[in-house]
Chains A and B, each alone.
Chain A
Amino acid sequence: METITSDIAIIGAGGAGLRAAIAIAQADPGLRIALISKVYPMRSHTCAAEGGAAGVIKSDDSLEQHFNDTVGGGDWLCDQDAVDILVQEAPKELLQLEHWGCPWSRETDGSVAVRPFGGMKKQRTWFAADKTGFHILHTLFQTSLQFPSITRYDEFYATELLVDDGCCQGLTAIEMRSGQIRQFRARAVIVAGGGAGRMFPFTTNGAIKTGDGMALAYRAGVPLKDMEFVQYHPTGLPSTGTLLTEACRGEGGVLLNKQGRRFLQDYGMGPETPLGKPVLKTMELGPRDRLSQAFWHEQKKGNMVATEWGDAMLLDMRHLGEKKINERLPLVRDMSISYMGVDPVRDPVPVRPVVHYMMGGIHTDIRAATPLAGLYAAGECACVSINGANRLGSNSLTELLVFGRRAALSAMEYLASGSARGNAQAIDARAESARGQVRALFQRSGGGESIAGLRKAMMHTLEQHAGIYRSGEGLTEACATLATLRRRYANIELHDKTNVYNTDLLQALELGSMLDCAEAVAVSALERRESRGAHQRLDCPERDDARFLKHSLAHYQGEAAPRISYGEVVITKSQPGVRDYSGGHA
Chain B
Amino acid sequence: MAEQVTRKPYLRELPRTLWFLRHPRYVRYMAREFSCFFIGAYTLMLVLGLKRLAEGPEAYAGFLEALASPGAIVFHLFALAFSAYHSITWFRLTPKAMPVQLGENFLPDGVIAGAHYAGWALVSLVVLWLAGAF
Contact = CB atoms under 8 A, between A and B. Distances in A.
A358 B2 CA distance: 37
Contacts of B7: 177-178, 500
Contact of A442 (B1, B5, B6): B1
Contacts of A498: 6
Contacts of A497: 1
> For chain B, which range describes its interface: under 10, 10 to 19, 20 to 34, or 35 or more residues?
under 10
Interface in B1-45: 1-2, 5-7
A498 B1 CA distance: 6
Nearest to A177: B7
Contacts of B2: 179, 499
Contact of B6 (A438, A439, A500): A500
Nearest to A497: B1
Interface in A464-514: 497-500
A439 B5 contact: no
A438 B1 contact: yes
A45 B15 CA distance: 38
A439 B5 CA distance: 15
A352 to B, nearest CB: 37
Contacts, number: 19
A419 interface: no
Among B1, B2, B5, B6, max chain A CB count under 10 A is at: B1
Chain A interface extent, by class: 10 to 19
A438 B5 CA distance: 16
A498 B5 CA distance: 11
B104 to A, nearest CB: 9
A210 to B, nearest CB: 21
Nearest to B8: A500
Nearest to B1: A442
A83 B134 CA distance: 82
Interface string A161-180: 00000000000000001111
A499 B7 CA distance: 8
Contacts of A177: 7
Contacts of A438: 1
Nearest to B3: A180
B1 A178 contact: no
Contacts of A499: 1-2, 5-6
Nearest to A498: B6
B94 to A, nearest CB: 25
B40 to A, nearest CB: 43
A177 B7 CA distance: 7
A499 B4 CA distance: 9
A487 to B, nearest CB: 24
A286 B46 CA distance: 76
A288 B9 CA distance: 47
A500 B2 CA distance: 10
Contacts of A442: 1
A18 B103 CA distance: 36
A337 B93 CA distance: 29
Nearest to B2: A499
A251 B116 CA distance: 41
A179 B3 CA distance: 9
A439 B2 CA distance: 9
Nearest to A494: B1
A440 to B, nearest CB: 10
A156 B47 CA distance: 65
A178 B7 CA distance: 6
B10 to A, nearest CB: 11
Contacts of B6: 178-179, 498-500
Given A179-B6, A180-B5, A497-B1, 10 more contacts: A177-B7, A178-B5, A179-B2, A439-B1, A442-B1, A498-B6, A499-B1, A499-B2, A499-B5, A500-B7
Interface of A: 177-180, 438-439, 442, 497-500
Q: Which 5 A-B pairs have the closest CB atoms?
A: A442-B1, A178-B5, A439-B1, A499-B6, A178-B7
